[in-house]
Every structure is written in structure tokens, then in C-alpha cells.
């Protein structure tokens, strides 16, 4: 489910800002950006996010600043010299003996710039502020997602009502289908038997109709279909996460609809099955957004 939350917290010389954005994904995927020099804090961010988000692509942008002069950025001379030396050696091997490494570009390479945070200065204080900032941003994001969730639950409920109405039409049509088959079968048989001067026992006709009715019986499928609808409605009204359960129930609804369509020998039932599948497809698209 999509959402966005941001927060800024300041304490002493530390200022931490966090932006969290979520988009739909069947699994949990974290995309994290954090200020250079604070990579050690990455391991404490994901557990905080997983307390509230079970699936989705989560993009997080963390900025950490310290206004103390000795906490500013500094050139990491050994790393920078190593980069320059390696580039010079490579250039010489390629015949470029006068090559001069561009220092203004080397400083953007990993580890070329460091802060006192790399040495663990004030890491506890910065970590606590980071936790607080991420939790505030996450709370804002969750409120936005809950608003979207209520709107989505309303749409899902409307689609469930449509499915319930359509399966009701099919249930009513089933009895009519058997009666129509009985009448047509009787007429065809009477016509054929009259031409050959043969009589038909009622028991033979009843047995044939019973076989047809059993072959086209969809009562089990419609019962399971309604059961899935009830479970689906209960899930979207529950407080806990239900995305995976809704995904499973959507598949089961589609499976029952396919079986009904395959067993039904009636044009009207087939038309309603097509409608049911269209509604289920709309539900499937929405369910992919539910956590």
C-alpha cells in the first residue's frame, strides 16, 4: 500500500531527518540511503520498519548532521592516496605515464570522506535521535496508509456484494436449467420414439435427468464460494495484516468460478460466470496493494 511520511528531530548539535515512502510489492524490499559515514546505523533501521510494514517496497532517505566543527566531513587521506596510486599505476600500464588522478572526483568514492561518526563519536546519541525520527515518520506514513486502507476496504466490500448477487443469480438459475433440460429431453425422446413406435418408461427418463442434474450440480462450488466471500469480508474488517490471506481467498474464488463455468451447461450461467471473473480480477488488482 502506498504512503509517505517524513520527520525531522534535533537534539544538541545533532539534526536527523527521515523520509519514508512505500509502494506496492508482494514482498518486503528496502531501499535505503543514509548520509556518508553513518552506514553503521543501517542495521537498526530495517527492524524498526518491519514492526509496521510486512510487505511493499520501502524507500528510506536518512540525513544526519552534526554542527560541531570536529564532527564535520574530513578527507580520509590514506584511502584517497590509495585510490590515486592505483589509478596512476593502471594509467601507466595503459601507456598514460603523465596521467594525473582527478582529486575532485576521487572524493566521491566510498570511504574517501569521513566524519568523526566513523570513529564512533556520539554514536549512541545519534542512534537514539535516529530511532525517534524514523518512528515519527513511520507513524505519519501509517496514518496515511490507514486512510487509503479504509477507502480500499469500502471498494472491496462493494465488489463482494456484486459477487454475492451474481452467485445468487446462478444458484436460482440452476433449478431452472434442470427443468428446461427435462422438458427438452422429454420432447426429443418422444419425437424419436414416436417415429419408431417405441414407448419410454418414466423411470428411464427420470434416471437420465438425474444423471444430468448430478453432472451439472454446482451446489458444493457455490457453498464454498459464499464461504470464501464471508472469510474475505471478515479479513478486511480485521485489525491485523491480511494481504496474503486476501490474495489466497481471491485465488480460491477464481478457482470456484472456473469450476462453475465448466460444469454449468447454460448460457445465462456462463454469462454470469464471466461477470464474476471480471469482478474477481478487479479485486485481485486491489489486493496486491494490501499489506
Is residue 111 included in any domain, yes or no?
A: no
Is residue 113 included in any domain, yes or no?
A: no
Split at pLDDT 50, 70, 90, the class of 7 is: very high
Domain around 39: 3-71+119-146
The answer on 55 and 8 residing in a single domain is: yes
Is residue 27 included in any domain, yes or no?
A: yes
pLDDT tens readout for residues 147-166: 888 888 899 999 999 999 99
The answer on 152 and 21 residing in a single domain is: no
pLDDT tens readout for residues 198-233: 555 666 556 665 555 556 678 788 899 999 999 999
Is residue 237 included in any domain, yes or no?
A: yes
The answer on 89 and 42 residing in a single domain is: no
Question: Would strands 28-34 and 14-23 be described as parallel, antiparallel, or unpaired?
Answer: unpaired
**In which residue are the cell numbers 448430478 written?**
214
Q: For the chain, what is the HEC assignment?
A: CCEEEEEEEEECCEEEEEEEEEECCCCEEEEEEECCCCHHHHHHHHHHHHCCCCCEEEEEEEEEEECCHHHCCEECHHHHHHHHHHHHHHHHHCCCCCCCCCHHHHCCCCCCEECHHHHCCCHHHHHHHHHHHHHHHHHHHHHHHHHHHHHHHHHHHHHHHHHHHHHHHHHHHHHHHHHHHHHHHHHHHHHHHHHCCCCCCHHHHHHHHHHHHHHCCCHHHHHHHHHHHHHHHHHHCCCCCCHHHHHHHHHHHHHHHHHHHHHCCCHHHHHHHHHHHHHHHHHHHHHCCCC
Least confident of 62-71, 81-90, 115-124: 115-124
Mean pLDDT of the chain: 81
The answer on 158 and 38 residing in a single domain is: no
Split at pLDDT 50, 70, 90, the class of 249 is: very high
Is residue 182 included in any domain, yes or no?
A: yes
> Angle between the 202-215 and 123-195 helix axes, to the nearest 10 degrees?
160
The answer on 20 and 141 residing in a single domain is: yes
CATH number of domain containing 52: 3.30.230.70
Is residue 112 included in any domain, yes or no?
A: no
Predicted local confidence at residue 69, as pLDDT: 45
The answer on 266 and 230 residing in a single domain is: yes
Is residue 140 included in any domain, yes or no?
A: yes
The answer on 153 and 141 residing in a single domain is: no
The answer on 29 and 163 residing in a single domain is: no
How far is residue 104 from each of residues 69, 112, 203, 275, measured CA to CA in Å? 22, 11, 98, 64
The number of folded domains in the chain is 3
* CA-derived radius of gyration, the chain: 34
Q: How far is it, in rounded angstroms, from Cα 239 to Cα 196?
A: 70
The answer on 205 and 136 residing in a single domain is: no
Is residue 13 included in any domain, yes or no?
A: yes
Amino acid at each position: 500500500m502506498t504512503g509517505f511520511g517524513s520527520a525531522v528531530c534535533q537534539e544538541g548539535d545533532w539534526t536527523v531527518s527521515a523520509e519514508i515512502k512505500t509502494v506496492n510489492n508482494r514482498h518486503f524490499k528496502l531501499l535505503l540511503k543514509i548520509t556518508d559515514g553513518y552506514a553503521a546505523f543501517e542495521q537498526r533501521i530495517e527492524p524498526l520498519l518491519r514492526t509496521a510494514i510486512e510487505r511493499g517496497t520501502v524507500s528510506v532517505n536518512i540525513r544526519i548532521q552534526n554542527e560541531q566543527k570536529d564532527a564535520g566531513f574530513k578527507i580520509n587521506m590514506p584511502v584517497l592516496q590509495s585510490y590515486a596510486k592505483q589509478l596512476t599505476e593502471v594509467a601507466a600500464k595503459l601507456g598514460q605515464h603523465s596521467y594525473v588522478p582527478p582529486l575532485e572526483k576521487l572524493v566521491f568514492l566510498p570511504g574517501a570522506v569521513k566524519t568523526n561518526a566513523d570513529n564512533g563519536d556520539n554514536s549512541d546519541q545519534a542512534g537514539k535521535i535516529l530511532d525517534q525520527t524514523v518512528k515519527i515518520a513511520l507513524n505519519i506514513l501509517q496514518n496515511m496508509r490507514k486512510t487509503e486502507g479504509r477507502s480500499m476496504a469500502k471498494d472491496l466490500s462493494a465488489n463482494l456484494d456484486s459477487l454475492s448477487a451474481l452467485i445468487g443469480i446462478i444458484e436460482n438459475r440452476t433449478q431452472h436449467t434442470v427443468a428446461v433440460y427435462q422438458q427438452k429431453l422429454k420432447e426429443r425422446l418422444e419425437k424419436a420414439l414416436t417415429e419408431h413406435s417405441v414407448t419410454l418408461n418414466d423411470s428411464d427418463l427420470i434416471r437420465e435427468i438425474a444423471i444430468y442434474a448430478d453432472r451439472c450440480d454446482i451446489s458444493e462450488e457455490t457453498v464454498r464460494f459464499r464461504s470464501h466471500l464471508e472469510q474475505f469480508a471478515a479479513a478486511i474488517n480485521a485489525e491485523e495484516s491480511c494481504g496474503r490471506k486476501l490474495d489466497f481467498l481471491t485465488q480460491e474464488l477464481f478457482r470456484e468460478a472456473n469450476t462453475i463455468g465448466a460444469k454449468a451447461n447454460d448460457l445465462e450461467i456462463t454469462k454470469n460466470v464471466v461477470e464474476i471473473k471480471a469482478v474477481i480480477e478487479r479485486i485481485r488488482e486491489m489486493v496486491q496493494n494490501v499489506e
